[in-house]
Structure 1
Amino acid sequence: MTDLTEATLLRLFIGESDEHDGRPLHEAIVLKARAFGLAGATVLRGAAGYGRSSRLHTTKILRLSDDMPLVIELIDVGDRIEAFLAETNAMLGSCLVTLETVKVARYGHDGGLT
C-alpha cells in the first residue's frame, strides 16, 4: 500500500477577464503561489459556466465569450494553504473559494508534500 499524505486542495473559481494590478488574476495567483512555495497550482479553463450573476459564459459559435470560467487549483498542507489564502484575500474579490481535504498518493519521486 502506498503511503498517503493528507493535504488541502484550494479551488478558486474566477472569470478569465478578472484582473489584479493590471495583470490577469489567474496569472497573479499562480505567480504568488509559486513565490509562496506552495506544492502545486493548475489553472483550468471551462467550456461553459455561470456564477452569482447567473450570466452564462460559453464558447458556443456566434457567442464567443471573452470571460470564460477559470478554476485555479492549489495544493499543499493545510497550514500553508490557509496562510496563502489569508495573504491573498484582498486579491480574490468576489470569487468562489472552496477548501477540500485530500489524500496525496504521489508527489514527485518521494511521494510526499513535506
Structure 2
Amino acid sequence: MAFEETSTRLTIHLSASARWHHRPAYAEIVHRAHAQGLSGASVFHGIEGYGTHLTVHHDRPSRLRTHGPCAIVIVDTEERLHAFLATIEDILSVNGVAVLDRIRVRQPSDP
C-alpha cells in the first residue's frame, strides 16, 4: 500500500552556461545541497526555453547541456529548503530564480 505525505519542492531555473567561480552554477548548487544533507537534487537540461531576456534558446542537443536552460529540483521539508535558500543567495542573486511550492509525495510502502 502506498502512502502520501506533504512536502515542499524547490525548483531553481537558470542557464546551463551560468558560472560560479569557474564552475557551472548548477553543479555548485547540487554540491551545496549535498553538503547540507538535503534528500536529493536533480538537474534537468531543457531542449528549448527563454527567460527574462526573452531570447529563445534552442540548439543542437549536444550544445544545450552547456548553453540551454536548466532546472534543479530538490524535494525536502519547507524549513530545510528555506535554510538552504539562504546558503545559495549569493548564486541566485547573479544567476537564477527559485520557486518553492507545496507538493504531495506518494511513495510505495515496504512489502
Superposition TM-score tier, normalisation by shorter sequence: 0.7 to 0.9
Q: Distance in 2 between matches of 1:34 and 1:78?
A: 17
* TM-score, normalised by the number of residues in structure 1: 0.84
Match of 1:96 in 2: 97
Give the structure-2-normalised TM-score. Answer: 0.86
Letter aligned with residue 97 of structure 1: A
In structure 2, how many angstroms separate the alpha carbons of the residues matched to 1:104 and 1:50? 29
CA distance in 2, matches of 1:2, 1:56: 41
Matches within 5 A, 1:1-114: 2-59=2-59, 66-92=66-92, 93-106=94-107
How far apart, CA to CA, are the structure 2 residues paired with 1:10 and 1:18? 19
> Matches of 2:19 and 2:74 in 1, distance apart?
18
Segments of structure 2 that go 5 or more residues without pairing to the other structure are none
More displaced, 92-101 or 31-40? Answer: 92-101
Moved over 4 A (4+): none
Deviations 1:33-87 (A, max 9, x none): 01111111110010111100001110259xx665200011011011000000011
Q: Which has the higher helix share?
A: 2
Asked whether the 8 Å contact 2:25–2:95 carries over to 1, the reply is no
Deviates more, 1:98-107 or 1:66-75: 98-107
Counterpart CA distance in 1 for 2:56 and 2:101 is 26
Shift of 1:3: 2.6
Aligned partners of 2:44 and 2:71 also within 8 Å? yes
Aligned length: 107
RMSD: 2.1
Q: Distance in 2 between matches of 1:95 and 1:32?
A: 15
- C-alpha distance in structure 1 between counterparts of 2:40 and 2:75, whole Å: 5
Which residue type is aligned with residue 56 of structure 1? V
